[in-house]
Amino acid sequence: MKILITEDNIDEEIIPHFTLREFACRDSSVKELVIHPHILILTNVLRNIWGVPIIVTSCYRTVEYNARPKVGGAVDSLHLVGEAIDFLLPRDPASIHAFIRLCAQVFPNTIDNPKKAYVHCSLYKHPYNWDTIKVERAGIKGPFVGETGKDKTNQDGG
């Protein structure tokens, strides 16, 4: 789904505990948020189970922002279509592993990156295979949440 971002709504909650700003591209000139509804639903579930605030470090990215050397995003990044989100890891080592385990239970795909202090979560159901993702993006439907027909939680195909 696409959401227009304005000065009036950027700090409004889009789901409990999270504002539009937290999901928006970090390039402040971008006035639109592209996000799959399941990212919002699963982020809300994650926050409710974790029980304390969690920080989104990256969600939607434009192609231009994703290509910046500082971002280092993959050309086929799921952030480009609003199907991925990154969270800041807790500082406590015991909490880091617990948070990563919880992310892996909530999201279909989780990649931890403790050296960079974040965890990457996406709607893709299997570990990344960039060749498979390229084929699916070319029009062959793949195992995305809500797209295979096996997941009936997304009745509108959104």
Highest mean pLDDT among 64-68, 84-88, 153-157: 84-88
Write down the domain spans for the chain.
Answer: 2-137
Please state, in angstroms and rounded to a whole number, the distance separating the CA atoms of residues 97 and 119: 10
pLDDT band at 154 (very low <50, low <70, confident <90, very high): very low
Please state, in angstroms and rounded to a whole number, the distance separating the CA atoms of residues 30 and 66: 13
pLDDT for residue 134 is more than 50: no
CATH architecture of 2-137: 2-Layer Sandwich (3.30)
pLDDT band at 114 (very low <50, low <70, confident <90, very high): low
Please state, in angstroms and rounded to a whole number, the distance separating the CA atoms of residues 90 and 79: 22
55 and 88 in contact (C-beta within 8 Å)?
A: yes
CA-closest candidate to residue 88, choices 114, 123, 122, 49 = 114
Query: Any idea which residue has 């570990």 for tokens?
Result: 127
pLDDT, the chain, mean: 81
Q: Determine which helix (DSSP H) or strand (DSSP E) holds 56, and give its type and residue range.
A: strand 56-58
Please state, in angstroms and rounded to a whole number, the distance separating the CA atoms of residues 141 and 157: 12
Q: Determine which helix (DSSP H) or strand (DSSP E) holds 67, and give its type and residue range.
A: none
> pTM for this one?
0.76
